[in-house]
Structures are given as structure tokens and as C-alpha cells.
Structure 1
């Protein structure tokens, strides 16, 4: 079992799908081993992108106060999510970064926390939507240096 796991989260319920898998793996494969889990969130550095009539684009960044609030909110979110992983053998850490490229930031965090494994959810897009939106999970898989556990997120059916 990996001793240091980086678990990137995007703030969505679908993005949290990997949490249950990591929890189950630890319980089944390493019930007595000490595991360090770092919950990680990347705040997009740009608040808004405006498309200009001439075909250009301009990015509007967050100001310092807005970024400070977003970082505080993200840390609170990660700590709350981390409550689901409170086992005696888990040491939990949280890390927040600001970037325009989440995949690069995840790969950087992988090295910073000396991760043995990255466990993350993927929305499972394919075809045109994957091409248009890109795949953070795929970029991390191809660009990182450690194994990546990808868990396909499945939307929950709403009760009618």
C-alpha cells in the first residue's frame, strides 16, 4: 500500500468519488500501516475570461482579498471532506494552490508531498467534450511520475 497519497479534489460531489475508494483500499490492504493523505484543491487564478469582438480574449484575475477568501473556503472544504477519512492510521493534510493549470499544479504537488500515489476522480468524458474541455486526470496520468488511481465519477440519480 502507498504510504503517501495525494487526493486532488475539485469541490464537486463527483470529484469526491475517489475518497470512498481510498478509504476502502486502506481498510482492506493496509489496516495497520501508517498512511499520509494530502487533500489538494486548485483555485483557478482567473475569475473571468472575456471574449472581445476582434477575436481576442482578456482574463480578469481575482484580487488579493478575493483570493484570500477562496483559499480559506477551500481549506475549510478540504478539512470537512477529510472528516470522512478519520482512521487511526491516517495522517491528514490539506493543501491549496492557485493556478491557471490544475494538472500542472497537481503534478507539482505530487513532488512536493513526495506522493507514492495520486488518487483522483475523472468525469469519464470522451470524444468532443473531452477534446474541448481537456482532461486534468489524463494530463496528470501522462505528466506525473507516480501511479495514478483514477475513479470514474458517476452522477447520482435524483430521487423523483
Structure 2
């Protein structure tokens, strides 16, 4: 049995391990697939300050000197670095939260998080998607949307959702 567990790095999403541990207690042979989805447009290369001082800029009567930033990492390198960091974070979480479980880590890149989660569930042939919800409602739900809602609406497999108040 395979369970896909999406995590967004928030404290709320980490609470899903309560439910994952319960599932593992009932079915110890579950293979847990942890995934985080990043927006490629939100990832930037690192910049650093120039080694030498930039020439002073004259603004009115004042002279202002500030080092000009320079790019030290391309967008592709930034995405690769973020993938490596995310896999390490997911592995650390799994080792701490579900130490006896068999797990696999995934990093997906998409502007559409819910779609990416559902696509990965299809690719790995997950038996269930297990995820937390922030429990937003009203205006905040309308403005922020809901990844969980998007997953539920379009999933072709069961989705087990844990609300923010789960103990």
C-alpha cells in the first residue's frame, strides 16, 4: 500500500504525521511518499554583494556608495539547490516522525500545487492521499484558495484529510 503525503513546510502540515502514524499502526507495510511542491517562478538564484565597491552615485548634492549585487546562482541552479534542500528536509522529517516506516521523498515543481499532487499520486499509483488542511473559511479561503480542496475535487483516488484541530 502507498500513501502520498503532501507537506508545505508549515507547522499545520507537519501535524499530518499524527494520522500517518495511526495508518502505520493499522497497516505497517505502508510505503509513505512525502512530497513538497514548489512554484518555479518563486525560486530565485542567490545574489551576493560585489567584491569591490561600486562607484559612488551622485544624488543631488549627496554621494551614495552601495555595492551592486551580483548573481552567483542561476535559476536552474537555485531550483536544483532547493530540490536537494527539500529532499533533505523531508527525509529528516520522516526519520523523526515515522522512524520505522519505509518512505520515499519527492519534490515537484508547478504553479498549480493541487494538480502536481494529483499527478504524482497517479504516477506512483498511490492508494490514498493523506493531507492536512489549514481550515480556512470565508474571505481568507476565497483569497488564498485551498490546495486540499483542489486535490479533493480532482483526485482519482481516496483523500484522507486531517483538520487543524486534530489531536
Which residues in structure 2 correspond to 1:1-160 (within 5 Å)?
3-27=1-25, 29-30=26-27, 33-47=28-42, 63-83=75-95, 84-87=97-100, 90-154=101-165
User: Please, which runs of 5 or more residues in structure 1 have no aligned partner?
Assistant: 49-61, 156-160
CA contact (8 A) 1:14 1:154 kept: no
Following superposition, the deviation at residue 25 of structure 1 comes to 2.5
Instruction: Map Cα deviations across residues 88-123 of structure 1 (whole Å, 9 max, x no partner).
Output: xx3210010111111000000100110010000100
Find the aligned partners of 1:144 and 1:102 in 2 and give their Cα distance.
13
Find the aligned partners of 1:100 and 1:35 in 2 and give their Cα distance.
29
User: Please, which runs of 5 or more residues in structure 2 have no aligned partner?
Assistant: 44-73
Structure 1 stretches of at least 4 aligned residues deviating more than 6 Å after TM superposition: none
Find the aligned partners of 1:110 and 1:40 in 2 and give their Cα distance.
10
Find the aligned partners of 2:90 and 2:81 in 1 and give their Cα distance.
14
- Secondary structure of 2:135's aligned partner: coil
For these two proteins, the number of residue pairs brought into alignment is: 135
Following superposition, the deviation at residue 154 of structure 1 comes to 4.5
- Secondary structure of 1:138's aligned partner: helix
- TM-score, normalised relative to structure 2: 0.76
- Secondary structure of 2:86's aligned partner: helix
Change (3 A) 1:135 1:76: same
Change (3 A) 1:12 1:34: same
- Computed over aligned residues only, the root mean square deviation of the Cα atoms, in angstroms, reads 1.7
